Amino acid sequence: MILNTEHITKSFGKKKVLKNISFKLEAGSISGIVGENGSGKSVLLEIIVGLRAPDKGKVRKNGKIGYCPQSTMLFPHLTVQEHFTYFSAAYGIDKKLSIDQSEELMHHFNYKKYQQEKIINLSGGTQQKLNLSIALIHKPDILILDEPYNGFDYDTYKRFWDYSNNLKNQGCTILIVTHLLNEKERLDQIFELENGNLV
């Protein structure tokens, strides 16, 4: 098991959002979480990656985590290339490896022509491509994705799944929040979050 959550509980005031949630993920798998808006899916992911603390329970991880939040976490007055430089330094990635990886990601998701553009000048879909790429640049073992393809056109959407399947074949574990039930054939398992419980 590469990811194991044990009895995760989280409340906000009197509202119990997550109730005693436990599940395990194996290496080389793609799993989905579905549920209504406000059901706590994003809260659960934030606990898994360490952005929030649970009231009770533990998360055990065995490997490097990549996280793509639903809202882009980008700097509006930096360029695409400056983002790669900044986050590569934060991850401690070798400069040559950083260049190779950023080139690969920009090529695969088809936005290299925007390499020197500031984020403020980019469309929402291109910003989301970079948001996803930042989660991938350090080649994580566990990839946590919160509706990562918001704003993607169909070509980029297909490129996303091609890349995800390649990662899976290399042993990466992917956990993705999705509202698109037609994706279920792409997933090894699906969890539904309802009334604080994960089924």
- The answer to whether the CB of 21 falls within 8 A of the CB of 175 is no
Task: Read off the DSSP letter of residue 117.
Answer: S
Catalogue all structural domains in the chain, each as residue range(s) with its CATH number: 3-198 (3.40.50.300)
Residue type, 4: N
Task: Read off the DSSP letter of residue 64.
Answer: -
Cα distance between residue 33 and residue 130, in whole Å: 23
Closest CA to 53 of 19, 16, 9, 17: 9
pLDDT tens-digit map of 166-190: 999 999 999 999 876 667 788 999 9
pLDDT tens-digit map of 4-58: 999 999 999 999 999 999 999 999 999 999 988 888 999 999 999 999 999 999 9
pTM assigned to the model: 0.92
